[in-house]
Amino acid sequence: MPTDLAKSRVVVTGGSGFLGRVVCDKLAQRGCKQVLVPRQADYDLTTEAGAAAMYADMKPDVVLHLAAEVGGIGANLDNPGRYFFANMAMALHLIERAREVGLDKFVQVGTICAYPKFTPVPFKEADLWEGYPEETNAPYGVAKKAAMVMLDGYQRQYGLKSSYVLPVNLYGPGDNFNLHSSHVIPALIRKCVEAIDAGADHIECWGTGSASREFLYVDDAAEGILRAAEVLDEPTPVNLGASFEITIKDLVELIVKLTGFAGDIRWDPTKPDGQPRRCLDTDKAQKLLGWKAQTTFEAGLRQTIDWFRAHSEDAATRM
């Protein structure tokens, strides 16, 4: 039987973050009146004590584990040890405590950084174990993939119901626009908008622009996560993507056009490109979840650009 989220007590780790806020809004739209968000100041989920206290205080029926420590290429290069530890520790303690308390459902949000560096395009879930991830984000990706293995073991040994989704790169209003820790779309939007405001004649971009990426609008990702929570009871990996691919060069040119920036684009080939290509096969999501991305890329970019322009001062200082 599908999980009725409207009648469940749902904890959303990372619920105050970019993706988490949208997930919480969509839970409310589904009629869920008991949505709880553990704050980092109150519960350090990287510790056994913090995870135990969260379960004891909040008494969830369902846990949607969105919390993560993550960033762009620069942040991953600076924090490989921390990113492995924090993400592995949170999953380890939250899943073990879920078993102990007899949780109804645990949903783990994974990452496509778990895929091998040279995965054939489009990425299929069966390819997850065909090689080692791209080096700059491997610690984060391996930690998230280990959580899937843990859930599989716990389902087979203890009967813990769970699901595991792998969203492609997310973007949308409310994203992290910090130039060091953000991902490529918010960083490019901020660079272009600030260059326009400053009258700058160029922007600088990392790498060669040859790598490709796929991007998923945050509202579509949130819907996919909730569908998994409702209908999946086993942690079979499920891709969440928009089924398209764009090179970073073309992405930059599109954002330049949509923001109205008229200057030059200067590439720094001494900086890494990251994984060469990313594009997901989403047939499994359509089959198992009845889910498909609904937002066109250009429409999503326009909404994200409009949001940043309306909140640029606040976004630049708080992120």
Query: What residues act catalytically?
Result: 140
Pull the structure tokens for residue 9.
């007590």
Contacts of 68 (CB under 8 A, 6+ apart): 14, 86, 87, 90, 109, 111, 140, 144
Q: Which helix (H) or strand (E) holds 166?
A: strand 162-167
Tokens 């879920």 belong to which residue? 98
CA within 13 Å, CB half, 120: 5
Strand positions, DSSP E, 168-244: 169-171, 202-206, 212-213, 215-217, 237-240
Residue 125 CA to residue 122 CA, distance in Å, equals 10
Q: Which amino acid type is present at position 273?
A: D
> Three-state SS for 135?
helix
Q: Which amino acid type is present at position 201?
A: D
